[in-house]
Amino acid sequence: MITPAKLELKAEELTRQGQHFALATIVRCEAPTSAKPGAKALVTFEGEIFGWIGGGCAQPAVIKTVRDCIKTGQPRLIRVTPTVQAALEDDIVKFNMACHSGGTLDIFIEPLSVKPLLLIIGASPVAQSLSTIASLSGFEVVVAADGISKALFCHEVTVLDSLEILDGYFNRMPYVVVSTQGKRDEAGLKAALKIASPYTALVASSKKAKKLLEQAGEMNISATVIDHVRYPAGLEIGANTPEEIAVALLAELIQFKHNSSEDMYTPPIIENERTKSASEAIAKPAESSGCCSSK
C-alpha cells in the first residue's frame, strides 16, 4: 500500500507533469469492504489510480466523479453502495455498486493542483490586460484568435492562433470571455458558445451584444446557452480604459467563482476524443474479482 510520503511525492510529480488529478479519501464504510476510513488515492483525469480506495466496485464511480470534479473545480462526496436509498443526506451523490460483494463506501473527492481555467477569445487591448491580471490572480489562461501574435501576451499565457483549435481542446470547463471588439466578432462568439462553460461574457455595448446574439440565434445555437451570456461584461465600476475594463471583468469572474455552486448555470459536459477512452473505460461494468469486499 502506498505510504503518505510516497503519495505526496506522486502528487508533486503529477503537478510537475501538468496533469489534472484529485485526492480520493475514504471517510466512512460499512462492512464488508477492503478499503477502510482514512485510505487515500490520487486519481488522474485519465483514470490512473495511485493508492487504495477499494477495487472494481468503487473505482468506476471514483474515476467518473474525479473527472466531473476536475471539470467543475468543485469537490464532491459520493457513496458506493448496494443499499436502496430514496434520498441521501448532505448532498451525497449515490452510485449503485456494480458487483455483488456488498459493503458501502463514502468517498470524499477533491480536485488538486487544478487552477481555474479562463479562455479569452480575441486579442484586443482588454483581452491583453485581462490575460495578464488573471494569470497573476491564479487562473490558467488560454487566449485564442485567428492569426494572433504570441508577442502580445506574457509567457505564462497559452496562445492559440486559430479558433478551430478550440474544438475538443479542453478536458474541463473554462470560464469564457469574448473580447474581439470589432475583429471577427461573429466567429469569436460562435466559437465561445460551442464551449461548455458556466460563465460566458461578451465585451461589447448592449446594443452590439444584442445584435451579435441575435445572429448567433440564427446559427442553431441553443437559446438557453445564448441567454446565459453576460453583457456588458464586468462589474459596474465606471471602467473606461482597457485596464479598468479588465479589472471589472476579473472582479465579476472572481465573484461568480465564489458564489454557491447551487446557483450556477452548468451546461452539459461536452465529450471529445481526448476524453473518449476514459469514458469508455468508466462505462464498463466492474468485474466481480478484486472489488470492495474483503473475504
H or E segment at 286?
A: none
With a cut of 60, say whether residue 200 has pLDDT above it: yes
Report pTM. Answer: 0.63
Q: What is the pLDDT of residues 139-152, one digit of tens each?
A: 999 999 999 999 99
pLDDT value at residue 94: 84
Mean pLDDT of 234-253: 95
- As a dihedral over the C-alpha atoms of residue 226, residue 241, residue 155, residue 158, rounded to 10 degrees, the angle is 10
Q: Rounded to whole angstroms, how far apart are CA atoms 295 and 290?
A: 10
Percent of the chain with pLDDT over 70: 82
Q: Rounded to whole angstroms, how far apart are CA atoms 295 and 293?
A: 6
List the grid coordinates of 252: 465579476
Q: What is the pLDDT of residues 49-69, one digit of tens each?
A: 999 887 777 889 999 999 888
With a cut of 60, say whether residue 295 has pLDDT above it: no
pLDDT value at residue 32: 79
More confident call, 80 vs 172 = 80
In order of start, what are the domains of the chain with their CATH numbers? 4-114 (no CATH), 117-263 (3.40.50.720)
User: Within 10 Å of residue 41's Cβ, how many Cβ atoms?
Assistant: 27
Mean pLDDT of 88-111: 79
